[in-house]
Amino acid sequence: MNDHEFKFTGNAKEYFGIWIVNLLLSIVTIGIYTAWAKVRRVRYFYANTWLDKHNFEYHARPVSILIGRIIVVGALLVYNLLINLTPLAAVLLIPYIIILPWIINKAIRFNARVTSYRNIRFNFAGTYWRAFLVFVIMPMVAIISFGILGPVASRLGQNYIGNNLKYGTAKFSTDAPLGKLYSNWGASIGFFVVATLGFGIIGAIVMAVDTELGFIEQLIDNPDIEQGLKQIYAMSITGILVAYIAAIFSYLFYKAGVRNVAYNATVLEGGHRLVSTVSRWKYVWILITNLLAALATIGLLRPWAAIRSWRYLADNTSLKAASDLTEFVEQKTPEGTAAGAEFLDIEGIDFGL
């Protein structure tokens, strides 16, 4: 067994230059350059990620990305206009749900096929009904059960992606253990309680100070409510806000845990095992401080933040290789269209970590 750590060699200074040029060219070309910008951005992160002295590569062609984006933006524009024209357009949600699994399969496949390592591309071959179960049914089940069945949904989702992913002709296989997912879920609930208490104290202090400022008073601009009730109202609004923020952080905490469980249960054909040792607390801390840093600098620290979180994940990932990794063979496949991948990208849907 050879232990290989993932290493990231990108740095914030170099990436800042790439980022600002990407941004400026994207604005002056009213978005057309975003396709080239995306390829340069993703390629910078992939190509600076190393495993056993070899780096990853991102091969998507900007023109395919651009075509994908035009299709997606056009569809979203028409949908938004229809929604404004007639409330009946909400019916379009049904065909949307029907094609969603297909879109997601296409997207994961495109992203896999444009990624390579050691001259070998990744690939993905999912099936429609399995994707329908994992991406449409299970999220609903998780919500209806108040999150109690969340780990079951996570297990199915991670297994679906893991078991259909290939590296050349070699198959990955994932069998995320439900017990570990549930213990991660329990820890996330604990984190939620702690976070709620923590933010609750901050909220209480803000409210005490706010009696002077009157922000909350304006927030509840309803004259029909008596003064005493207003106080209770203000408290419940602050409470909801606190719980909302705590819930978002707990979700990030949960996702980091799921990554550990899923990676550690993933094997590449030939007996190569993935290992993930992300600390959930540290990961959430990195994301919170990243956000604050980006906000405080009107976005200028965003490149630094992106490098920081990517490096943290890379540093906590490794591969226990059973061989010297030279036995893999390419399986020739066309890349397919980028529209699905661009839809998920623009809508901010993301399965990776």
Partner 1 sequence: MGNIEGRYFVAGSSASQDARFELVDGLAMIRLADGSQTYSGEVALVSDRLGNVVRKITLYDGSLFETPDNNGVDELFDVHKSFFNRLTHIESSVKLVAILAVVTMLVLFGAYRYGLPILARVAANVTPTSVLSLMDAGARETVDRVIFSKTKLDDKKRAVISVLFEDLKKQSGQIDPPLRLLFRDGGILGANAIALPGGTVIITDQLVGKAKSDDEIAGVLGHEIGHVELRHSLRQIYRVLGISFMVTIIGGDSSQLVEDVIAQASALENLSYSRKFETESDYRSAELMVGLGRDPYAFVELLKRITLDKGEKSDTGWLATHPGTFDRMATVKKYVNSLKP
Nearer CB in complex with partner 1: 159/238 = 238
Nearer CB in complex with partner 1: 100/325 = 325
- Dihedrals φ, ψ of 321, to 5°? -85, 140
Report the residue from 218, 228, 334, 352 that binds partner 1 according to the rule CB under 8 A. Answer: 218
Calpha distance 9→105 (Å, rounded): 31
Give the interface segment with partner 1, choosing from 96-104, 154-162, 192-200, 345-353 (CB under 8 A). 345-353
86 binds partner 1 (CB under 8 A): yes
- 168-207 footprint of partner 1 as x/- string (CB under 8 A): x---------------------------------------
212 binds partner 1 (CB under 8 A): no
Give the interface segment with partner 1, choosing from 21-29, 103-111, 130-138, 273-281 (CB under 8 A). 21-29
- Local structure of 2: helix, strand or coil: strand
38 binds partner 1 (CB under 8 A): yes
91 binds partner 1 (CB under 8 A): no
DSSP of 33-46, one letter per residue? THHHHHHHHHHHHH
Report the residue from 8, 16, 233, 351 that binds partner 1 according to the rule CB under 8 A. Answer: 16
Half-sphere exposure of 13 (CA within 13 A, CB side): 0
Token look-up 């590449």 returns 268
34 binds partner 1 (CB under 8 A): yes
CB of 25 to partner 1, least distance (A): 8
- Local structure of 124: helix, strand or coil: strand
Question: How far is residue 181 CA from its own chain's centroid?
Answer: 18
- Local structure of 324: helix, strand or coil: coil
CB of 290 to partner 1, least distance (A): 7
DSSP of 190-239, one letter per residue? HHHHHHHHHHHHHHHHHHHHHHHH-HHHHHT--TTS-HHHHHHHHHHHHH
Calpha distance 298→254 (Å, rounded): 29
Report the residue from 1, 221, 334, 352 that binds partner 1 according to the rule CB under 8 A. Answer: 221
Report the residue from 125, 137, 207, 219 that binds partner 1 according to the rule CB under 8 A. Answer: 219
246 binds partner 1 (CB under 8 A): no
Please tell me the count of residues contacting partner 1 according to CB under 8 A: 70
334 binds partner 1 (CB under 8 A): no
Nearer CB in complex with partner 1: 71/133 = 71
Per-residue CA distances from 311 to 11, 71, 78, 202, 214 (Å)? 9, 33, 39, 31, 43
Sign of the torsion angle spanned by Cα atoms 311, 244, 345, 40? negative
**Range 44-73, binding partner 1 (CB under 8 A):** 44, 47-48, 54-55, 57, 73
Count Cβ atoms within 10 A of the Cβ of residue 351 and give its class: 0-12 exposed, 13-18 middle, 19 or more buried.
middle
123 binds partner 1 (CB under 8 A): no
Report the residue from 2, 3, 24, 197 that binds partner 1 according to the rule CB under 8 A. Answer: 24
Sign of the torsion angle spanned by Cα atoms 67, 70, 76, 78? negative
CB of 128 to partner 1, least distance (A): 27
Question: Who contacts 258 (Cβ-Cβ below 8 Å, separation ≥6)?
Answer: 154, 158, 176, 181, 184, 353
**β-pair partners for 143:** none
Give the interface segment with partner 1, choosing from 77-85, 130-138, 197-205, 274-282 (CB under 8 A). 77-85
300 binds partner 1 (CB under 8 A): yes
The residue ranges that bind partner 1 (CB under 8 A) are 10, 14-24, 26-28, 31, 34, 37-38, 40-41, 43-44, 47-48, 54-55, 57, 73, 77, 80-81, 84-88, 117-120, 168, 218-219, 221, 223-224, 248, 287, 290-291, 294-295, 298-300, 302-303, 306, 309, 325-330, 332, 346, 348, 350
